A = this chain, B = another copy of it.
Amino acid sequence: MTITITAFERSPDGGKGLARDTRVRWALEETGRPYDVRFVSFKAMKEPAHLCVHPFGQIPTYEEGGLCLFETGAIVFHLAENHAGLLPREGDARARAITWMFAALSTIEPPILELQTAMFGEGDKPWTKERLPLVRDRIRQRLGQLSDRLGDSEWLDGAFSAGDLLMVSVLLRTRPSGILDEFPNLAAYVARGEARPAYQRAFAAQLAVNAA
């Protein structure tokens, strides 16, 4: 059955790989699944046809036969569960890899999203200049803890997993602010993720759309 995902017609980052479709493209490439992409404009994203597929009016979504999913984490998990390459088979190792999936999206990403909201959603507010350092410090706190846990390891828990895929993707969003480079082991971890052939294919595919 054909897999169809949705992505931005024009990505807000101009194709630097920070939009969430890159995460799903990467998981598809790691598991060797071909896929089609349906592009959605910002306007169409908030219209009933897309809201049927994604109740929060975002991308990406995932369609395969009669199955229709939203939420990047759930899509990556669905791929990881049904194809080899993204989750260990042994039960305890699998549960720990899934833990890192949730950690990426529920613990590490929220303060990063808060910085984006502070910069773009409240950029014109009188408090923003004074408030931004506080928001950045909350990201640093989490990244410091993650850096301590990762140490010198190649990946978060044994072999590369869907947990690393999501964590690298989330951390990439801290590079423009310079915060990622304050943690050399995390910066090297992200670079290892980016060096994977599957990531390179995913990145190139979304860049090609945005550079066109």
Residue of B whose beta carbon sits closest to that of A127: B127
Q: Roughly how many angstroms separate A92 CA and B82 CA in the complex, as a whole number?
A: 12
Cross-chain contact A146 with B73 (CB below 8 angstroms): no
Choose from B56, B99, B117, B131 the contact partner of A71 (Cβ within 8 Å). B99
Chain B hits for A117, CB < 8 A: 114, 138
Say whether A148 faces chain B, with CB atoms less than 8 Å apart: yes
Contacting pair B71 A106 (CB below 8 A): yes
Q: Report if A159 contacts B (CB, 8 A).
A: no
**Interface hits, A128-161 → B, CB 8 Å:** 130-131, 134, 138, 142, 145-146, 148-149
Hey, which chain B residues are within 8 Å of A72, CB to CB? 102, 106
Q: Residue A14 at the B interface, CB < 8 A?
A: no
- One of B70, B99, B105, B110 near A69 (C-beta < 8 A): B99
Chain A residues touching B, majority SS: helix
Mark A109-122 against chain B: 1 for CB-CB distance below 8 A, else 0: 11001100100011
Asked if A78 is an interface residue, CB under 8 A from chain B, the answer is: yes
Residue of chain B at shortest CB distance from A78 = B95
User: Which residue on B lies nearest to A142, using beta carbons?
Assistant: B56
Q: Which residues of B contact A77 (CB under 8 A)?
A: 98, 102
Q: Please give, as numbers and ranges, the residues of chain B lying within 8 Å of A142 by CB-CB distance.
A: 56
Q: Does A43 contact B (CB under 8 A)?
A: no
Within 8 A of B (CB), among A71-113: 71-74, 77-78, 92, 95-96, 98-99, 101-103, 105-107, 109-110, 113
Do B74 and A95 have beta carbons less than 8 Å apart? yes
Nearest B residue to A52, CB-CB: B149
A176 CB contacts on chain B under 8 angstroms: none
**B99 lies within 8 A of A70 (CB):** yes
The answer to whether A74 and B55 have CB atoms under 8 Å apart is no
CB <8 Å contact, A70 and B103:
yes
Contacts A67-B92, A71-B107, A110-B110 given; indicate if A146 touches B55 (C-beta within 8 A): yes
